[in-house]
Chain A
Amino acid sequence: MKVAILGIGALGGFGSGIAALEQALAQTPPIGQWVDFDTTQGPIRVPGLLADPSALANYMPKRTLRRMDHNNRVALTAAFLALGDAGLLEKKERGRLGIIVATGYGATCNNFDFQHLSIDGADFCGSPTRFSNSVHNAAAAYISIALGENGPNHSISHLDMSFPAAIMTAFQWLREDRVDKVLVGGTDEFCKAVAYKWHCDHMTSEPDDPILPLEAAPPMVGEGACFFVLSPAPDITPAYGVIQRIEIERNSRHPGNLPPAGAYIVSADTSPYPIEVLRSALPDHAAVTSYPCIYGVMPVGAAFDLAIATLCLKHGKIFASKPQGPPHLKKVGKAEGDIPLPNGPICCFQLGIGGTSSWFLVDRGTHTA
């Protein structure tokens, strides 16, 4: 079974919408911004690629957003962008719609805030809104409520394998004829805990040491959401091509046999992999690229890779990896400049923790618009 991509909604440090993502790929990557916050060891600043969900006001009255936190606004904005891109903002056009949201971290900021109240406070008076927003399926619930869609509504949190698992479930629902279309996406937010982890990994802990300029920083913490509208492939002309196959598995001895493809987009988000593991997994002489500098480091980075793969298909070229790509990828043949699209599909490949891996194959589809 093949699945068609009808629309994409992308929101991240690069901007809002698929056109903003396209521009970041074709021109210069976003430079991010500094985020200052206090820790028990004093103030620190961490660079982040942050998402601005203000476009949500184009789709919903402001008063309905009053109790919705930033994390949910980001996800909802990307969901609306995807539906708008697919021409499916009108409910009657959508048919039976299923919703799947992948998140590696969940509603982390709210979760921490609520934990702070509950763990520290002998006299507890936590906010019910904050508690309900801290539940991992909050984003999916808000999307279904905002769209008035009462089809299946599913949330997955499996760190860096969350988004591939979501795509697999979308395939399953379409195969079962449970729904006509699936709105599926990945979302993660910038929070102090993740930023602090980044600080510990990458920044000096000596207060008098100079802070690295943003341009010289390693791939920074990202936040954002990227959603897709999917449907069975045979019936329509896909705007963004088709996903041929999705595989997700665990094989601790070897990352699995990758399929033949013209190019490989490697999602290198949440952990560095030993170079020999990557090298053994990727075919010799393949075009290999990676784009965390476009959207930042986050568990659901594979969602952005899928969107980028469709843009590569659209433009007939593999966009260059940007300067801030993971250094170890240079050793496996990273594309330093734009190259013509090789023959064959594009494989989005991810190694995850615990010997997990996933890949999906994307190509233009038979009836490319």
Chain B
Amino acid sequence: MKPLLPVAVVGIGCICAPGPTLDECMDALFAGHRHPSLPTRFPIPNGFSFPVFEVPDTYLPTTAQDTVAQRTNLLALNAADQAFQDAGLEFDTLSHLRVGVCLGTNVGGSLGNENLFQDLNTKDKSHISPIDRFRVSNPTAALMETYHTNGPFQTVVNACSAGNDAIGIAAGWIDAGWCDLVLAGGADELYQVTYVGFKSLFINADAPCQPFDLNRKGLNLGEGAAIFLLASPALCQRLNLVPRGYVLGYGAAADAYHFTHPRPDGAGLHRALDDAFAQTDLTPQDIAFINVHGTGTQGNDRVEATVLNARFAGTPFVSTKGYTGHTLGAAGPVEAAFTLACLQRQQIPRTAGFNTPDPEISAVPTTENYPIDGTVAISQTLAFGGSNSVLILGKGGPLS
């Protein structure tokens, strides 16, 4: 594997249930706040009582909510605006640069189908064009049009690891010299189809999720977006940008095992970790903490515990799903943003929902806010279809 030069993250935007910005999210996490509730934006079938983590309408500008754009796109645009502000960049001044967009989404790829579906059933042909369908539902296209980007682009649909993979792919674009700047991340809104779909798999919890807990019952869905601005070394130098963090390594691998059940021995996750480390000169001993996928399902937590025990014994780890819910394509970027913020604060939050260790998996996440000492951490996601994705992230500051 060719080594990856550290790729600078010069701006981060984040919006999800805990808060409208990354700082407010982190404050909520460290204060232990979480507010799951039943969905309010779509009808719930009879007998469904599975809480979710919605983004309050107050987090989005009122004018934005009045537009016809899909909520997924609004979330992505909100996070992207934040990222530019965070970097202190005015996009209009960057028109001479080659700027790419690489986002992960699940719902963004399907919502247009909902339009089509409803049109077919209401005889309203006004929105049936596949082009219209794509325009209203694809967050990558929304960012490209809003910021008039001119570089490469890609919408990753690797289910729950889509956003993590999008950041990894985008880091490669910077490394290859294909872009000066990339907007990378993910976005997904709460959606009725995924809500009932997870129920059909019996992995929704009917209470707030409890990652790694003996009594865990499954996951809660959430929504949100996080966008990273990745910049080339030359651009950082030219604009005096101080990185908020670094992408140091990326690995992705498949379980090749089962469509909805993770491989019990974690072979896919091991390979993703191997590949991510192979892009660096780091070892597991360099890892300050791990932000795990930690959905609260039986299968996911068991596999992650197996891998953690095998190669990161004693390293603290946290699941933040208890604060955000599972935001699907946004999960990787949201958690990567949290990971960089924790490296900055030198502290990781307690794992909300965890109370009682499960003796079968012998893995105990953080039980209280926990100080860390180190500059490198891992954020990992697992997904439908057996996808595993690992980002190795470094603390911000001038590159030595």
Number of interchain pairs (Cβ within 8 Å)? 227
Per the bound structure, the CA–CA distance linking A40 and B158 in Å amounts to: 34
Contact: A128 with B253, CB < 8 Å? no
- Which residue in B138, B149, B255, B256 is a CB contact (below 8 Å) of A158? B138
Is B110 touching A158 in the complex (CB atoms < 8 A)? no
**A112 contacts partner chain B, Cβ-Cβ < 8 Å:** yes
Contact of B192 among A106, A118, A148 (CB under 8 A): A118
Q: Are A155 and B259 in contact (CB under 8 A)?
A: no
When A172-B173, A197-B130 are in contact, do A124 and B117 touch as well, CB less than 8 Å?
A: no
Assembly CA distance A175 to B120 (angstroms): 45
With known contacts A138-B385, A152-B254, A196-B128, A132–B150 Cβ distance under 8 A: no
| From A117, A148, A193, A354, contact of B256 by CB (8 A) | A148
B154 touches A156 (CB 8 A): yes
B385 touches A41 (CB 8 A): no
| From B46, B114, B155, B175, contact of A157 by CB (8 A) | B155
Q: Once the chains are docked, how many angstroms separate the CA of A142 from the CA of B256?
A: 8
**Which segment of B140-148, B333-341, B371-379 sits at the interface?**
B140-148
Report whether B140 and A158 are in contact in the complex, using a CB–CB cutoff of 8 Å.
yes
A124 touches which of B45, B130, B256 (Cβ 8 Å)? B45
**Which residue on chain B has the smallest CB distance to residue A139?**
B385
The 8 Å CB contact of B157, one of A119, A125, A126, A136, is: A136
What 1/0 mask marks residues of chain B from 246 to 284 whose CB sits below 8 Å from any chain A CB?
000000111111111000000110010001000100000
Q: Is B156 engaged at the interface, CB distance under 8 Å to the other chain?
A: yes
Q: Does residue A279 face the partner (Cβ distance < 8 Å to B)?
A: no
Assembly CA distance A273 to B258 (angstroms): 42
Residue of B whose beta carbon sits closest to that of A196:
B120
Contact A168 B154 (CB under 8 A): yes
Report if B211 contacts A (CB, 8 A).
no
Pick from B155, B196, B256: contact of A126, CB under 8 Å: B196
- Residue of B whose beta carbon sits closest to that of A248: B152
- Find out whether the CB atom of A158 lies under 8 angstroms from the CB atom of B153: yes
Q: Is A321 an interface residue (CB 8 A)?
A: no
Category for how many chain B residues contact A: 35 or more
Pair A155/B134 contact, Cβ less than 8 Å: no
Separation of A251 and B192 alpha carbons in the complex (Å): 35
> Which residues of chain B from 201 to 259 have any CB-CB distance to chain A below 8 Å in the complex?
201-202, 252-259
- CA A335 to CA B167, docked complex, whole Å: 42
Q: What sequence of 0s and 1s flags, for each residue 84-127 of chain A, a beta carbon within 8 Å of any chain B beta carbon?
A: 00000000000000010001111010011011111101111111
Contact, CB under 8 Å: A106 / B109 = yes
User: Which B146-182 residues sit within 8 Å CB-CB of chain A?
Assistant: 148-159, 165, 169, 172-173, 175-176
- Residue on B nearest A148 in the bound complex, by CB: B256
Report how far A196 CA is from B252 CA in the complex, Å: 38
Q: Which residue of A lies closest to B270 (CB)?
A: A150
* Chain A residues closer than 8 Å to B96, beta-carbon distance: none
> Does A248 contact B114, Cβ atoms closer than 8 Å?
no
Please state if B150 and A137 are interface contacts (CB–CB under 8 Å): no
- From A152, A158, A176, A249, give the contact of B151 (CB < 8 A): A249
Partner of A150, one of B144, B172, B255: B255
Query: CB-CB < 8 A to A156: which residues of B?
Result: 154-157
Cα distance, A159 to B110, chains bound together (Å):
12
Contact B144 A131 (CB under 8 A): no
Q: In the complex, which residues of chain A have a beta carbon less than 8 angstroms from the beta carbon of B295?
A: none
Q: Are B387 and A126 in contact (CB under 8 A)?
A: no
| Residue contact B169 to A39, C-beta cutoff 8 Å | no
Query: Using Cβ atoms and an 8 Å threshold, which residues of chain B touch A140?
Result: 158, 385
Given A115-B193, A138-B385: A169 and B154 within 8 A (CB)?
A: yes
Taking the complex as formed, is B56 at the interface, i.e. its CB lies under 8 A from any CB of chain A?
Answer: no
Determine which of B45, B169, B258, B387 lies in contact with A172 in the assembled complex, contact meaning CB atoms within 8 Å.
Answer: B169
Chain A nearest CB from B257 CB (Å) reads 7
A147 within 8 A of B: yes
5 pairs from A and B in contact (CB 8 Å cutoff)? A124-B196, A127-B200, A145-B386, A158-B141, A193-B117
Not counting A40-B121, A142-B259, a sample of 11 additional A-B residue pairs whose C-beta atoms are within 8 angstroms of each other reads: A40-B120, A99-B254, A112-B113, A137-B159, A152-B252, A152-B254, A159-B130, A197-B129, A249-B150, A249-B153, A270-B131
